[in-house]
């Protein structure tokens, strides 16, 4: 049986999280600094590449799949399929101008020069807005372009915004929001396709699990009905009698995002001894 070949970023922002995700999926890969590594417990070979080289490698079939930023996928214009969003490496691609400029809308960029590493995305965005501007492709330190007179504005990846701030720039338009994605060659042979589907299934169970917590609590029996409404769980909560007369233990799952709000309400409803545990995998 042939191995599935997956490329991930070598020595960049997404490397550690990509390896971490594979690990959580029970696919352990050690990055010993070489270009290639074989996974244990899964027929997978990992290739470590610069993120910019991943779309080409996947399109050409040098690799079957890859993990990289959606921004790089879109900029590449290569024929590859996005299979799954992975929930890490979140950022946005934005236009920015000098802080002192008075900026109303995209018409500001008419006839101006924009420095960016993402010419293709910027061009299509401006075309859609009916603005014509000169695009200067540069590969690094885009944020210094306006201060050295190379451009009037820039388009770059923003995460916290501190790089823009410390270079005297302000973010004026968000062109797209991006995160790490799993991509694949558009026509994998059936054997490899089955392996990829297995990997995607594992990834989905890990991602799903990260949205929830497992919760256990004790409550007096008369409070159970109202507490149950707060904790619907996957199907319905498990309720077990406690050795103490008139009390029960309730087990369920709770969403991570409104967790603290619900905990407050559960306490008000009479819940005690609340335990909350992480969930590793969740299969619905
Ligand atoms: O060597 P290689 O070509 O593989 O790596 P790279 O230098 O091209 O990319 P890398 O490792 O910097 O980023 C990989 C991917 O991480 C990007 O394609 C994005 O999808 C994602 N990502 C998430 C980011 C950021 N956050 C980010 N903050 N990529 C870059 N940045 C940079 C940005 O370019 C700017 O210089 O961080 C700065 C802005 O950050 P803030 O926090 O100051 O706003
Ligand atoms: Zn890169």
pLDDT per residue as tens digits for the range 96-107: 999 999 999 999
State pLDDT tens for residues 172-189: 999 999 999 999 999 999
Atom of ligand 1 nearest to the CA of 142: 36
DSSP-derived pairing of the beta strands 36-38 and 44-49? antiparallel
Ligand nearest to the CA of 85: 1
Residues near 94 by beta carbon (within 8 Å), at least 6 away in sequence: 155, 156, 158, 171, 172, 173, 174, 175
* The pLDDT of residue 233: 83
The answer to whether residue 232 scores a pLDDT higher than 90 is: no
The answer to whether residue 31 scores a pLDDT higher than 80 is: no
Helix H or strand E segment including 46: strand 44-49
Quick one: average pLDDT of 249-263?
A: 91
For the ranges 21-35, 66-80, 196-210, the lowest mean pLDDT is seen at 21-35
For residue 233 and ligand 1, the question of a CB distance below 6 A is answered with: no
Provide the greatest CA pair distance for the chain: 79
Sign of CA dihedral 197, 42, 86, 201: positive
**CA–CA separation, 251 and 88 (whole Å):** 29
The answer to whether residue 94 scores a pLDDT higher than 80 is: yes
The rounded mean pLDDT for the chain is: 95
Distance 282 CA to ligand 2 centre (A): 33
Domains of the chain listed by start with CATH number: 4-88+179-209 (3.40.190.10), 91-178 (3.40.190.10), 212-278 (3.30.70.120)
Q: Whose CA is nearest to atom 32 of ligand 1?
A: 157
Distance 53 CA to ligand 2 centre (A): 8
For residue 158 and ligand 1, the question of a CB distance below 6 A is answered with: yes
Site to probe by mutation for ligand 1, drawn from 15, 16, 51 as the one with most ligand atoms within 8 Å of Cβ, is 51
For residue 207 and ligand 1, the question of a CB distance below 6 A is answered with: no
* The pLDDT of residue 235: 87
Atom of ligand 1 nearest to the CA of 50: 4
**CA–CA separation, 68 and 14 (whole Å):** 7
């Amino acid at each position: 049986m042939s191995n599935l070949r997956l490329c991930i970023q070598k020595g960049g922002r997404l490397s550690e999280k990509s390896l971490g995700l594979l690990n959580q999926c029970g696919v352990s890969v050690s990055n010993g600094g070489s270009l290639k590594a074989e996974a244990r417990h899964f027929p997978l070979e990992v290739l470590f590449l610069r993120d910019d080289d991943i779309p080409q490698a996947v399109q050409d079939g040098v690799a079957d799949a890859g993990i990289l930023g959606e921004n790089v996928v879109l900029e590449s214009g290569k024929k590859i399929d996005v299979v799954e969003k992975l929930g890490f490496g979140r950022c946005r691609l934005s236009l920015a101008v000098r802080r002192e400029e008075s900026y109303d809308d995209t018409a500001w960029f008419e006839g101006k020069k924009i420095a960016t590493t993402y010419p293709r995305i910027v061009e299509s965005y401006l075309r859609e807005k009916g603005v014509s501007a000169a695009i200067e492709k540069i590969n690094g330190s885009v944020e210094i372009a306006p201060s050295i007179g190379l451009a009037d504005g820039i388009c770059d990846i923003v995460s916290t915004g501190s790089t823009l701030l410390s270079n005297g720039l302000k973010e004026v338009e968000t062109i797209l929001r991006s995160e790490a994605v799993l991509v694949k060659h558009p026509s994998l042979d059936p054997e490899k396709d089955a392996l990829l589907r297995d990997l995607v299934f594992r990834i989905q169970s890990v991602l799903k699990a990260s949205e929830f917590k497992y919760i256990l609590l004790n409550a007096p029996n008369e409070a159970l009905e109202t507490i149950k409404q707060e904790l619907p769980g996957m199907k319905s909560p498990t309720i077990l009698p406690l050795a103490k007369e008139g009390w029960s233990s309730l087990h369920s799952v709770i969403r991570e995002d409104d967790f603290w709000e619900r905990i407050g309400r559960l306490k008000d409803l009479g819940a005690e001894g609340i335990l909350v545990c992480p969930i590793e995998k969740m299969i619905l």
